[in-house]
């Protein structure tokens, strides 16, 4: 089940992914939104009757042992029925869960209807990697490289996270970021100061002991 509908059946990197809830072989359910605040790897395996699916499970189980559940959780999503659910339950852990998607609806939402794949999400549940089984570098190898390279959750934005600034990483493409940086550097920024009441009037003051920021105004022509 999901609270978001998609017609494209394709995950766009940088975008939030559809939320869903699926039953877990050990009991209970995996609710994606409850995993926010840490890295999430969703490996869509297709049918576990496929020998390759079990090979991928073995590799994911090995990788999961390297992480704590506060840093990363891995959800292995399989379609159809699990032929040996007790064996899957035996290798499950707080970091590794096996999720039943009997009719494949969630798998299709994540673009795994035709090709199994692993989608990696940042702590804000936005897709940062989409690794299909047919990737030339090898699916398991690439997944391992990406997971091992994930920074600590507090460093996931690429810059220090602190109040009162709101940090929303990976919103713009690299091209747009380069353009905005160049625009800022060529236009010349000015000290934005802050608003203060002086003798009943609002004036703009500058005091670097309280605030230090330079801005460039971006004008949008009227259409």
The pLDDT assigned to 2 comes to 38
Q: Which residue has tokens 């559809």? A: 18
Contact by Cβ (8 Å): 105, 72: no
Position 20 confidence tier, pLDDT thresholds 50, 70, 90: very high
**Which residues are within 8 A (CB) of 134 and not within 5 positions of it... i.e. 6 or more apart?**
115
- Predicted confidence (pLDDT) per residue in 127-156, tens digit: 999 999 999 999 999 999 999 999 988 888
Does residue 4 have a pLDDT over 60?
no
Does residue 166 have a pLDDT over 70?
no
Count CA atoms closer than 13 A to 210's CA, side-chain side.
9
**What CA–CA distance (Å, rounded) separates 158 from 129?**
16
The pLDDT assigned to 208 comes to 67
The pLDDT assigned to 190 comes to 79
Average pLDDT, the chain: 85
* Complete domains list, the chain, with CATH: 21-155 (3.40.30.10), 174-215 (no CATH)
Query: Under the phi-then-psi rule, with left for phi > 0, alpha for psi from -120 to 50, and beta for the rest, what region is 34?
Result: alpha
């Amino acid at each position: 089940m999901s609270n978001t509908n998609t017609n494209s059946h394709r995950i766009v990197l940088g975008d939030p992914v559809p939320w869903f809830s699926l039953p877990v072989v050990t009991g209970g359910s995996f609710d994606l939104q409850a995993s926010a605040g840490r890295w999430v790897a969703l490996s869509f395996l297709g049918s576990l009757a496929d020998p390759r699916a079990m090979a991928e499970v073995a590799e994911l189980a090995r990788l999961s042992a390297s992480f704590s559940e506060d840093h990363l959780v891995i959800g292995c999503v399989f379609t159809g029925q699990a032929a040996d659910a007790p064996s899957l339950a035996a290798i499950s852990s707080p970091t590794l869960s096996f999720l039943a998607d009997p009719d494949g609806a969630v798998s299709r939402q994540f673009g795994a209807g035709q090709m199994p794949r692993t989608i990696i999400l940042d702590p804000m549940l936005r897709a940062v990697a989409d690794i299909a089984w047919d990737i030339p570098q090898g699916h398991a190898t690439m997944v391992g490289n990406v997971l091992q390279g994930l920074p600590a959750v507090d460093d996931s934005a690429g810059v220090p996270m602190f109040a009162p600034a709101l940090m929303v990483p990976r919103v713009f493409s690299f091209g747009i970021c380069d353009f905005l940086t160049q625009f800022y550097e060529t236009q010349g920024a000015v000290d934005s100061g802050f608003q203060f009441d002086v003798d009943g009037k609002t004036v703009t003051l500058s005091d670097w002991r309280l605030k230090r920021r330079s801005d460039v105004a971006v004008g949008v022509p009227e259409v």
